[in-house]
């Protein structure tokens, strides 16, 4: 016993870190849940929200690059009518030079009992429109990708802050200790700003998202080092136990070592993942009719994996469209938007129906959108950008669309509006901070009270901003 006392490990920490933590489950029962409150022992154990929640988990479908709202979920008849005409009062001031009004090349149609209009680009998604709340009055701060990505993902456009998924897992923990609590999948590489989009910031490192390149189909490529072919599981367990003792000795001489704690917890999670990750990421275990419903291709695969992950207790899954900024269509917008939507629409529609048929949509919050929208006017030719073409749109942070489904959201509902052409949010405006406050409310948290003490002050996801948009909640 003296050996463990000298290494700085308490009995509770030893039970949580050894033998996959099963002994700690018995301890938690004996101690009436005290082990759950011991965040040092295991910060990812499930934790109750501040009040009864409508949503338990989140799937964020991120169309990085900025999809055009006036071509997807925000139809503008006046824009169609006056396409090709100059704007009254001169050209819009955006990031780049713009010209005349540019009508949408896509047809809109009413769907569902609610009769909400959706573009032909997302006709499969539109079949679930009665479960969707379309926010047509979103706005952000600046028309640039990097700060807008940071704002949407962390609530702060310039400084290092924890991501939404990190805040969520910090508040709720996770329901599966053998899988990451927060997974971020992006096929083909990183989006703009890379891992900063799923960073834990000043929160402990265990809350950072786990990146997965969903272009890969083999489990060994999807998750690096998932299997150890040289050392048996029992031998790995002994190695980890010894390493934990050595780390405990190192920690006992220091008052606080959050990086060391995160490393210990990451080693343990990596060990436990060997048993569950391969099964969770293997979509071939799904029946044929489910595979056919989602379709073929990387987006079908990663969307189905997202459902399998949340089904197994993963708390937050973010799906990016691809490396870089694929939806950033400054030119050839009709062709490129049609290709991009064609890659993911069937899978998104399947996800909504699949969650509903499994009775999971009611407590799974699904979010779709990008970091901003696009202008209702044409972008003018500029060397080095759109190669002299005049068939695309510039960035637009003044007004854009995000939609939410499930998780206590009011379905078949349109919130707010942009002006007659779709440039600015003018009615029931929703800032990104408001979106975050509403998400946290659905998850059972007061966004003003979910805080973390750092550098002498209490930080929160919404900083000093944000309001809950009650109209979006069923």
Of 134-148, 150-164, 271-285, 452-466, least confident by mean pLDDT is 271-285
pLDDT of residue 268: 58
Q: Tell me what the mean pLDDT of segment 102-107 comes to.
A: 98
Q: Tell me what the mean pLDDT of segment 383-393 comes to.
A: 79
Distance CA 264, CA 250 (A): 12
pLDDT of residue 258: 64
Residue 33 pLDDT > 50, yes or no? Answer: no
CATH 2.60.40 holds for 57-76+86-100+120-223+288-328+336-357+370-426+438-449: no
Residue 414 pLDDT > 70, yes or no? Answer: yes
Would you place residue 232 in the very low, low, confident or very high pLDDT band (cuts 50, 70, 90)?
Answer: confident
| Residue predicted with more confidence, 383 or 78 | 78
Q: What is the DSSP letter of 379?
A: E
Residue from 452, 413, 358 nearest 115 by CA: 413
SS3 state at 446? coil
Strands 452-454 and 425-427: unpaired
Rounded-to-10 torsion of CA 216, 219, 223, 224: -100
Would you place residue 37 in the very low, low, confident or very high pLDDT band (cuts 50, 70, 90)?
Answer: very low
| Residue predicted with more confidence, 122 or 227 | 122
Query: What are the start-end ranges of the E strands in 406-451?
Result: 413-415, 417-418, 425-427, 430-431
Distance CA 252, CA 180 (A): 28
Q: Taking all residues of the chain, what is their mean pLDDT, rounded to a whole number?
A: 88
User: Please, is 367 exposed, middle or buried when counting C-beta atoms within 10 Å of its C-beta (0-12, 13-18, 19+)?
Assistant: buried
Distance CA 303, CA 300 (A): 5
On whether the CB atoms of residues 54 and 473 are closer than 8 A, the answer is yes
Residue 25 pLDDT > 60, yes or no? Answer: no
Distance CA 62, CA 368 (A): 6
Residue 454 pLDDT > 90, yes or no? Answer: yes
The encoded tokens of residue 192 equal 């703009």
pLDDT of residue 97: 86
Distance CA 425, CA 109 (A): 22
Q: Tell me what the mean pLDDT of segment 399-411 comes to.
A: 98
SS3 state at 317? strand
Strands 116-119 and 98-101: unpaired
Q: Tell me what the mean pLDDT of segment 251-267 comes to.
A: 63
pTM above 0.95, yes or no: no
Would you place residue 41 in the very low, low, confident or very high pLDDT band (cuts 50, 70, 90)?
Answer: low
pLDDT of residue 3: 46
On whether the CB atoms of residues 155 and 164 are closer than 8 A, the answer is yes
pLDDT of residue 13: 52
pLDDT of residue 435: 98
Residue 259 neighbours by CB distance under 10 Å:
10
| Residue predicted with more confidence, 104 or 238 | 104
Of 8-17, 207-216, 428-437, least confident by mean pLDDT is 8-17
């Amino acid at each position: 016993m003296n050996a463990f006392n000298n290494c700085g490990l308490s009995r509770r920490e030893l039970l949580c870190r050894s033998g996959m933590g099963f002994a700690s489950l018995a301890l938690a029962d004996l101690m009436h849940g005290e082990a759950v409150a011991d965040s040092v022992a295991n910060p990812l154990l499930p934790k109750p929200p501040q009040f009864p929640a409508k949503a338990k988990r989140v799937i964020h479908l991120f169309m990085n690059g900025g999809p055009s709202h006036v071509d997807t979920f925000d139809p503008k008849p006046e824009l169609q009518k006056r396409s090709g005409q100059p704007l009254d009062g001169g050209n819009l001031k955006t990031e780049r030079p713009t010209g005349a009004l540019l009508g949408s090349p896509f047809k809109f149609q009413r769907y569902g009992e609610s009769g909400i209009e959706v573009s032909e680009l997302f006709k499969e998604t539109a079949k679930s429109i009665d479960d969707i709340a379309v926010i047509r009055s979103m706005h952000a701060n600046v028309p640039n990708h990097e700060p807008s990505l940071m704002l949407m993902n962390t609530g702060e456009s310039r400084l290092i802050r924890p991501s939404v998924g990190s805040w969520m897992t910090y508040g709720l923990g996770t329901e599966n200790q053998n899988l990451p609590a927060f997974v971020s999948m992006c096929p083909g590489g990183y989006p703009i700003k890379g891992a900063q989009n799923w960073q834990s910031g000043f929160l402990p490192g265990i809350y950072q998202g786990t990146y997965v390149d969903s272009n890969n189909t083999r489990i060994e490529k999807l998750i690096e080092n998932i299997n150890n072919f040289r050392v048996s599981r029992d031998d790995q367990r002994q190695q980890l136990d010894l390493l934990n003792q050595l780390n405990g000795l190192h920690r006992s001489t220091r008052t606080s070592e959050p990086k060391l704690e995160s490393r210990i917890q990451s080693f343990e999670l990596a060990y436990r993942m060997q048993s569950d990750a391969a099964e969770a990421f293997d979509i071939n275990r799904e029946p044929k009719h489910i595979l056919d419903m989602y379709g073929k291709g990387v987006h079908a695969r990663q969307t189905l994996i997202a459902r399998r992950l949340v089904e197994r207790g993963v708390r937050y899954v973010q799906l990016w469209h691809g490396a870089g900024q694929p939806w950033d269509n400054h030119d050839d917008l009709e062709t490129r938007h049609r290709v991009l939507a064609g890659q993911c629409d069937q899978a998104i529609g399947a996800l909504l129906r699949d969650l509903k048929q499994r009775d999971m949509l009611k407590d799974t919050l699904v979010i779709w959108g990008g970091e901003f929208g696009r202008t209702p006017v044409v972008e003018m030719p500029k060397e080095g950008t759109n190669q002299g073409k005049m068939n695309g749109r510039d960035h637009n942070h003044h007004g854009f669309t995000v939609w939410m489904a499930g998780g206590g959201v009011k379905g078949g509902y349109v919130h707010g509006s942009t002006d007659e052409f779709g440039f600015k949010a003018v009615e029931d405006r929703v800032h990104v901070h408001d979106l975050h406050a509403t998400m946290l409310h659905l998850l059972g948290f007061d966004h003003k009270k979910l805080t973390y003490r750092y550098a002498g002050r209490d930080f929160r996801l919404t900083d000093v901003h944000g309001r809950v948009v009650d109209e979006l909640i069923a």
